[in-house]
Chain A
Amino acid sequence: MGIFEYAPAPESASIVDIQPSYGLFIDGGFTEAKQSFKTINPATEEPLAEVGMAAAEDVDRAIAAARTAYDKVWGPMPGRDRAKYLFRIARIIQERSRELAVLESLDNGKPIRETRDVDVPLVAAHFFYYAGWADKLSHAGFGASPRPLGVAGQVIPWNFPLLMLAWKIAPALACGNTVVLKPAETTPLSALWFADICRQADLPPGVVNIVTGAGETGRYLVEHPGIDKVAFTGSTEVGRQIARSVAGSGKKLTLELGGKAANIVFDDAPLDQAVEGIVNGIFFNQGHVCCAGSRLLVQETVAEEILGKLRTRMATLRVGDPLDKNTDIGAINSAEQLERIRTLSDLGEQEGATRWSPACELPDRGFWFAPTLFTGVSQAHRIAQDEIFGPVLSVLTFRTPAEAVDKANNTPYGLSAGVWTEKGSRILWMADKLRAGVVWANTFNKFDPASPFGGYKESGFGREGGRHGLEAYLNV
């Protein structure tokens, strides 16, 4: 046959009805902002819609609405009823799943296969999971009747827009808080769709408020005296600023920040699955993952074999149109992010590491970066220390488990780690020694609403998911 060409298999965008412009969702309705900005499709650079830029008075109004809703409606409401609203939301997400998957792919640049098979199902699952806690808080291990905090200000990143929204809103509402959430500047649309879903679910006005905007809006929100709780997922740099601004305010804070995770492969690993785990760890979602396995630590005895298999495997990765169902790697989210990835990659070369990418035909328009491998990297290289947040893997070697642990922990970050070996006791020993909030053994990038997620050290504090995830939103 020769080359088995997969013909284009595009998912149709016609299922999504994107309006020319959107306002802010405050107190149960959409209102226009004085200023607006465009959100574009990073695969084509085409504008998708104009979105409101929330100003100070908009945020004030949103917080006031959230406060009223908390005092009068949501706070006093029995958990049983909060649960039912959350179940409704979960159901509607399932019903509109294809529409949401296409929308997210258009606005973010990630492949439709991922939004369809990973993002949107997890979003629904988070709402289902936390719906079930709303009327069981007395059984959660936080005392007989734990109370909510009040109004939560939440700022989320662009890498998993709707999923990060679910991680924030589901537990907050389940515990009885109301929220004002600011989605990322480059990915506001799925949050606005969520606002519509709240309306379909008849959620009382003011319980969820969505204020789109840029950095300034987010800063104003988290520094606002009218909120009781701040939740932020994003860069460590911004996380520090927020922690500074919250100091002395009495607001509760949880942060989920950056990472530079080590994916550690021993010579007795199941090699083919380890290669898959490495690929999944750094190329899934274009590497725009805080817990990405961006450092491969491979035992020297098996390094060449693993790298050979890895290069062969990388050559079968398909980079291209995110709406094509066969695409593995989509577009980089923005011109800025692409620039950052390029700069750090060039730095890697300058520092003496060996750069390799499979042959890749990249489209002319849009923001694209081929999956890239750097070998000959050591901890002293910047590409082993700085979070690149792109499809770039730095490869280091080690000889013994102790050395692997030292290198893995040799970072101010501590979000996640991967361990690949068929030896159970070593998995548990490594897990014990690794200073990371999530350890994946013989797998990677696994998420579940029942599983707590969060970092050590400068990757942040607090946990999202599971029973532990309730703590962030309770007055305990």
Chain B
Amino acid sequence: MAVYERNYGRYQGELTPSWSRFMILPRYAFKDVFDSKGFLIFLVLSCVLPFAGLILIYLHHNLAALKFMNLPLEQLQQALPINATFFRRGLDIQSWLCFLLALSVGPSLVAPDLRNNGLPLYLSRPFSRTEYVLGKMMVLIALMSFLTWIPGLLLFFFQAYLEGAGWLAANLRIGVALFVASWTWILVVSLVALAISAWVKWKPVARVSLLIVFFVLTGFARALNEALDTWWGYLFSLSTAMDNVRAFLFGTALDDSHMAQPVWSAWLTLAVGCALSLWLLSRRIRAYEVVR
């Protein structure tokens, strides 16, 4: 019988709070993303629209500049009014940039860990599957926030600052809509992108799958609606559902009235899309794999 001397001491110090640990995961993912020149160019280009919006809002409140450009204020207010539609359309465009971002970054988030059996590395620590998914999602959430609600709210508050407190009170709904619509889209796109990344190992196939979910299903929904003269085909289209929810939140009409569906059904589609993605993630994000 061996005689064991206790000379091996364990660490007894303080630990960081468990809720904050998921934020360790995106550290190197961000580094990889920002190492790519193509991605940096994309990020700069995605700031063009918010910057244009900033100039437009400024021009609405600077008669001297308008005079210098020989542009009457009434004409500008008529052509490009700063209202709910202005903010909604801006968010529409930025939301599609988010989709492109998910298309670029999403497929490489979970698939490499699964391909290399890397999950035990995370899950043999005080770190849950939920925290793992949250950590991976943080990459998309942070980048998409930079494209959507952060510039949106900056423009909103800039407009409120120039117009005065009365405008802010009268248009509070726009601010809320910017925030809620952005987060809803971020959650939907991130969860679907992660679920696809968890199930499809090849990046090109994952990207095609993402395009199928957001575009081909919309085409299918439209064909179904045309053939059966109904609206419920849109229950299969996440992008149409988001357009409807966005229009509802901003209190504006849809640009294409043929795409209208009851708001409850749009929320239902988004909720089911998220729930299905979470289910797919929970089926796949496990510390072990059984080969039958």
State yes or no: do A and B come from one complex. Answer: no
